[in-house]
A and B are shown apart, each in its own frame.
Chain A
Amino acid sequence: MYPLRWMPRLTLLAMLGPVVAGLLGALAPAFGWMPAIGAQRLGFQAFESVLNWPGFATATRLSLTTGLLSTGISLGIVALIVAGWNGTRAFEALRRLLSPLLSIPHAAAAFGLAFLIMPSGWILRLLSPWATGFERPPDWLVVQDPWGLALVAGLVVKEVPFLLLMTLAALPQTQESKARAVSAALGYSKIRGWLITVFPQIYDQIRLPVYVVLAYAMTVVDVALILGPTTPSTLSVQILKWIGQPDLSFRLWAAAGGIIQLLLVIGALGVWRLGEIALGRWARRQVVQGHRGRFDKTLQVAGLTLGAFIAGAVLFGLLSLALWSVAGLWRFPDLLPDALTWRTWQRHGGNLTELFARTSFIAGTSAALALALSLACLEAEARFGMKNATRTLWLLYVPLLVPQTVFLPGLQTGMIAAGVVGGTGAVILAHLVFVLPYVFLSLSDPFRALDPRYAVIAQALGKGENAVFWRLRVPLLLTPILTAFAVGFAVSVGQYLATLLPGAGRVSTLTTEALALASGGDRRAIGAFGLMQTFAPIVPFVFAVFVPRLIYRNRRGLLNG
């Protein structure tokens, strides 16, 4: 009984301990203290070196622009889609297309997108030679363009499904249909009416997820390695390059770069917040004018088109990964390969099986740990009436807001200093930091929504609290529990930096190996690895859908409600 009381604290420790330790582990070397490599002179030398690095201004600008741009565009597209279409059949169809995209690892989606838009990709193949006249792929820098636009696109296709899901979760707390009816009756256009009456309430609730998207987009490593510019790259990729230098003194640079990146993220969040306020003021002045809104149809069509475009980009991207993995000779501008062959799968089959098993083991373990901790926290909350929900909610977002490029290298430094050798255990614990918030967020709403009177009834029938948990809560919440596990599993599969650094490069998963292929340009191998990476998280989601249907096939109350 008593250990349960400690679970919320243990959970916070598992989630925030590594972040705090990693931050401390980054601060020391940033200021010149890293005895392991003989650096014991405190000062600002590392910061000076980073600031004087010739690529610094560009890398910083890239991190800022790609982060702000991708977040703004994603939020705008989500608002347009929901404003213009929520409640329609088209919206349902789009939602069904977009929500599975959430489980696809960022890297796989980025590879797929690259395979579509690169000069020898599917889009140009479709248009060549009849429209473009190209017999050979043009010498364009579409992927890894110096402005980072491909990187922005790669982020947008993954963040739109995420923000859409968050928006849909927030909608029931607004009186959307009434607001729509009133603004329509007053003659407002569909989109303008929604933006004025519903969006502010939504935004209040999805503010933290939006900040997470911004922080993530500014510091992402894997997508930037695939789609981002190279000379110079974004600051986060540059930090990784410094870590990988054989000359260990670059570790100090990496730590200083990480701290600068943290400040940059804080600054960008501040800018975003100011932007919110300014936009709010401007919008309030607009509302007073009473304009009813124009271009409603155009905007609606634009929203739906963009949404369909995103779904199409990811799905056709995955299709082209699949096709490349079985392609024989495939010349430009042929739309399809000359022949299909299993050669790629045969060559990498053994390795892929091993990686799939290890990836699944790490993901399964970290998701199971996260699930156990989350359930214990929620059960403690229900049993002891611990009402600290609002305070801890903020803390859940901390690991998602602090840039990985700061605390993960710091954590690795700390582990080296403590003499801990990187291994699977360290990787699982590092994954737990990112898996826990998502599992908890996914589980907490259904858990808290369960009628508390079930527990009262059971106790009145002479059953103890453990019986209430195991015989009522768990079976009644089977679907949300399996879904939360699947969400955690997917988050773990997608982790790149959190695998690479705590594993000291010795623990390889589908994601680290796929990224290792990124610079090589072996499209067939990338296709196979990307596809396996996409496939891994789908398995638990399939379980989450079909296991309850099988167990509860005669229980209408659980399948429909």
Chain B
Amino acid sequence: MDRGLSLKEVEIFKSGYRLLGCDQEIAPGEVLTVMGPSGVGKSTLLSFIIGTLGSDFDAKGEVWLDGRNITQTPPRERRVGILFQEDLLFAHLSVAQNLAFGLTSKVKTRKDRKERITQALSEIGLEGFANRDPATLSGGQKARVSLMRMLLSEPCALLLDEPFSRLDAALRAQMRSLVFDTARARALPVVMVTHDKEDAKAAGGALMEIVPT
């Protein structure tokens, strides 16, 4: 069993012309940073890994995660988590319900699930926030709930789509270390798309630049 995420000879085409190519191995706890100007298809690579590539794209190559070839696996069975620039909390659910939406179904009984969520809330410093309306949280609080919601689904890899660009400078540093420390602690391979050099420096892993063709 090969642990980690590997992108084997991946090539993505849009209406016949080649957008990008990528051949990388990301070990558990390591970060691959993908940089490049906007519009070159950085996020398209993430869509390919997660399995939601639009029908106007074609792709070659394979995605392997912890020894499984997941290239043809439906998105919901891939166990690849993703964080976007926006928190994308579900506005109709409370904070606890948002977390419960993410919490893996392996935790079965109502009591265990409730306990796990209470524990998760205290891990991100939001004790007592269970019944709050997500719209009433601060930007940093939302970002933490969003991260925890994803972690509760017990992903085997983590994708980050410019995740810190909307936060102000102080919060950004804080969230960066939270995300990278968590990834390292859980031994998750990470692919991060960004155009912020500071992000790349903080991540400390391999760097891949996509240039417009």
Contact = CB atoms under 8 A, between A and B. Distances in A.
A385 B77 CA distance: 21
Interface in B130-167: 133-136, 149-150, 153, 155, 159
A458 to B, nearest CB: 7
A556 interface: yes
A557 B133 contact: yes
A454 B134 CA distance: 15
Contact of A462 (B52, B88, B105): B105
B197 interface: no
Nearest to B79: A462
Interface centre among A459, A461, A556 (most CB of B within 10 A): A461
Nearest to A548: B92
Given A456-B82, A556-B133, A461 B88 contact: no
B150 A556 contact: no
A117 interface: no
Given A459-B52, A461-B76, A461-B149, 17 more contacts: A384-B55, A385-B54, A453-B84, A454-B90, A456-B75, A457-B88, A460-B150, A460-B155, A462-B76, A464-B74, A472-B90, A476-B91, A476-B92, A478-B92, A556-B136, A557-B91, A557-B133
Interface in A412-469: 451, 453-464
A385 B55 contact: yes
Contacts of A552: 92
Interface residues of B, number: 36
Contacts of B102: 461
Contacts of A451: 86, 88
Given A460-B75, A460-B82, A555 B88 contact: no
Interface in A509-561: 552, 554-558, 561
22 contacts: A385-B54, A454-B88, A454-B90, A456-B47, A456-B50, A456-B52, A457-B84, A457-B150, A458-B101, A459-B75, A460-B50, A460-B155, A460-B159, A461-B76, A461-B102, A461-B153, A462-B105, A475-B92, A476-B91, A554-B94, A555-B133, A557-B133
Interface centre among A456, A471, A561 (most CB of B within 10 A): A456
A475 B80 CA distance: 25
Interface centre among B74, B80, B84, B135 (most CB of A within 10 A): B135
A464 B75 CA distance: 8
A33 to B, nearest CB: 47
B118 interface: no
Interface of A: 384-385, 451, 453-464, 471-472, 475-476, 478, 552, 554-558, 561
A554 B133 contact: yes
Contacts of A462: 76-77, 79, 104-105, 153
B51 interface: yes
Nearest to B152: A461
Given A456-B50, A459-B52, A460-B82, A555 B104 contact: no
Contacts of B105: 462
Interface string B66-101: 000000001111111110101010111010000001
A460 B101 contact: no
B92 to A, nearest CB: 4
A179 B137 CA distance: 37
Interface in B161-198: none
Nearest to B154: A462
A451 B88 CA distance: 9
A454 B98 CA distance: 12
Contacts of B153: 460-462
Contacts of B52: 455-456, 459
Contacts of A556: 133, 135-136
A384 B54 CA distance: 9
A475 B98 CA distance: 13
Interface centre among B47, B101, B159 (most CB of A within 10 A): B101
A558 B76 contact: no
